Structure 1
Amino acid sequence: MNFMMNFLMRKCYVTLLVLAFSSSGLAIATIAQPELPISALYKTEKVVQTLPMPTIPSTTNASSYWYDEEVQTGDPITDVLKRIGATQTSINDFVKNSPFDWKNLQLRTGQIVSARVDSVHDLTDVQFFNDDDNGERNMVALQRINGKWQVNTSNIDTETMPSLRSVVISTSAAGALSRAGVPVEIRTSLKEMFADKFNLDELVEGDTISLLYESLYSRGQEIATGNILAAEVHTKGKTYHSYYFDQGDAGGNYYDENGESLKEGFAGQPIAHFTRISSPYGIRVHPVLHTIKMHTGVDYAAPTGTQILAPSDGVVSFRGWKGGYGNTIMITHATGIETLYGHMSAFINGVNEGSAVRAGDVIGLVGTTGRSTGPHLHYEVRINGQHVNPATVALPTPKLSATDLAALKKYQQKTDETMMAVRGLPVMVSQLD
């Protein structure tokens, strides 16, 4: 008990030892003093200070995203941008203040318009191809910088990548391919490619389509497509294959797994004599100006006056002056294909709108009318208004030599390995390699 009391006292007091001497000897005395409170050792003071809010730099493109929208029949650009989700105020500002002559805008049904919107859904970038009615489409890239719209003058950085798609038909082939993001040009080419084998529109639920095609990307967006590289369709218990074999400047053609021509094509060339193909179908990037153009046909270099021939039977649907094409004739063929012949120097008497022509008939003479840099024939092929590569559907398909056949077999093996990744899957697949 005494021990506990002493312990408690030592916790509460400071003990001072005092030594004293007396006649009887040394005496020791203790004096207990209360311990000072801690608060007495320092002074407290309440200080209130208001701190400024931190400055967070903002950028125009913070939380911005690119969107793609397919042009519907009769769409003005404003309707396309509205479906993308841009605010009406920013759309009005874009149309009013961007440096583009909207009177010359020609959007095609099925083409893609790409736009980037920021976190409040205001437009920051818009890009699309504009048809100049001259056999070329020009890439238009507009950008808002510091609140002002201007042409994007930065170097065009493009990349071509293969796109792999695989779909299972539920209602229609067109619907399944559209939902998988396959552009209308590719859908049109695919249908025509197999037209001699089956009708793509007659595929039924459970049928499958796998295809590999070229996509051109700029600033992360798919801006154009090239040729179908390979396709595989399973219907009615049979699988059909198609492989693209490039013939160089003349373009390429489609062959089956045995190297046989997939489509018969037209019997003849559209020109009697030509020195070379001066411009093939497809995308061109100017090496100095860094502009992107889509050439929608094939240009045959030939002297003025060279005879232009109908490559297949048909009916003349247009004869006259057609903008940048100059003197032009258009022919509708029995297969539904429409062909165009531009920059003619002269027409042939008796070849008028509504006239029937046979394969090999002379329909005009090569020239350089319209927007043309020299004498040549511009030859286009359209299906339901969509441009397709003439070499794949409307030119004679050459038989493959033994060397070409061996090269096709190697290409077939390579593409089959890629297609194997999605073969037999019961779901829709989209993949970029």
Structure 2
Amino acid sequence: MDRTDQQGARQAKRLPPGVFVLALGVFVIGTGEFVLAGLIPLLAADFDLTYGAAGQVVTVFALTCAVAAPVTTTVTARWPRKRVLLTAGVVYLLGAAVTALAPSFGLMLAGQVVAAVGTGMFIPNASVAAAGLVAREAGGRAIAAVVTGFTLAVAFGAAAGTAIGAVYGWRITMWLAAGVALLGVVGIASLIPSTVGGTGSGGLRERLAPLRDRRVQALLATTLVAFTAVYIPYTYIGAIFTPATGGDGVRLGLLMTTLGVAGAVGNLVAGRLVDRHGGSTVVLGALLWLILSFAAIAAAHTAYGWSIAAIGFYGVAAFAITTPQQHRLISHVPEKAHVMLSLNQAILYLAIGTSGIVGAAGIDIVGAGNVIWIAAVLAIIAIALSVLGRPKLENTRNSDAAAPVCPASEANRHDE
């Protein structure tokens, strides 16, 4: 290979700047979503609400995303991805600004509804656009780079936003999110080519067709119940760990950073284990680990040092479920991988919203210190549902593990 060929090969391996702009957008939007859990104590104090009532901001945001993701993706299916992403970015920016200016909790919720529409519109299309910016063989790396924005949002963005909110007020956190979102919009306008096309013309009915499959129903039910369990302690992390943090937002931010870093490790390890043992086995192991982590939180939530250890233990399991669940869905219906992933994403947002409702009711009934046991019961139910979603004759190396590394990128390209 001559020098020109070597340079061409190196350039082919490099991801274009547009991919990293999309990752920045996911980081900003993810931070705006996940930081809400850390701001609940501040919102409760500012608007004179209970923890449960203030926690409904997470519920409203997530439920709006669950509806907005499939609907806006279908409505804008023929649009160039650049137009969709710019529209989503502007909508999120407006929602964040309304939230920061809101004089009442009701208006704040209205601002979060607007921001959530932008989020539901942006996230699925960011992955599609990333795959469209690179060669077919680099689609997996491009999507992985974009998804990394979510991991960083939990590990650093939400934690930093929580700490900033504790020192300067939650409105400053929202203004910072809006400011960085503006940078993302400018970056998309400058670096995403208009030639990145739409995702196809399939209507909403076609996208929902896989829901008639009983195994798909069981798998999506697993996602719903498992992530409701996962997000109860995350949504109410401030309330659960108040005995350990003493209400200190900086200490709470450190807990969230620990959670995010541990979660990144759990996600990476889960990806490797899926290739070896199959998605069903990894999901089962992660759910069992999750139940043990809930017991650890129940025992440690009053002492700060032990709380950091317990939240890290929980973070590994919490983030180890997503990848194997996606593999199970796409290996079951590989020709509709993009549809399955969009449905799973919508169900995931629904789970986040459900966690806010169930967690609030649980805190009112059994108290913040015991609400973790409600999450444990849900994790046990998720195990039963996961078994129902397992193939009757599953060979882990030839079934779940046989799923392509990134079929979503292939499906996206086929649609384009």
TM-score (norm 2): 0.23
Question: Larger radius of gyration, structure 1 or 2?
Answer: 1
Higher percent of residues as helix? 2
Q: Under a length normalisation based on structure 1, what TM-score does the superposition of the two structures give? A: 0.22
